[in-house]
Homo-oligomer: A and B are copies of this chain.
């Protein structure tokens, strides 16, 4: 029943007490889940994850600087950018012929806060 991933085997019989993350502390009701899940979903595609990473790395990025790195059509890249944008992870602005995208760090922070090991511990 094990699927290899990293190191710690996580003793099956251990009585887990310490909270592993905010997920374990902050109650995630249905409303919260429906607000947060689309962000994770947006990052749940390899192309979009790479797009987000490139935009995060480059700061303020023209679509024309993203497209060449993928073996995909322009419209497909545009579609993925739209998904990221509608999830609230990025935003954009047209400047003449070109459109520039940038990361919304608050959104990433929201997700990170849910996942990271309990900062209080």
Which A63-97 residues sit within 8 Å CB-CB of chain B? 85-86, 88, 91-93
Contact-size category for A:
35 or more
Q: Chain B contacts of A17 at CB under 8 A?
A: 59
- Judge whether A23 and B52 touch: CB under 8 Å: yes
- Judge whether A106 and B8 touch: CB under 8 Å: yes
Query: A49–B16 Cα gap in the complex (Å)?
Result: 20
A8 is contacted by which of B28, B49, B59, B105 (Cβ under 8 Å)? B105
Query: A25–B10 Cα gap in the complex (Å)?
Result: 29
Q: Chain B contacts of A50 at CB under 8 A?
A: 28-30, 33
Binding site for B on A (CB under 8 A): 1-3, 5-8, 10, 12, 14-17, 19-21, 23-30, 33-34, 36-50, 52-54, 56-57, 59-60, 85-86, 88, 91-93, 100, 102-113, 115-117
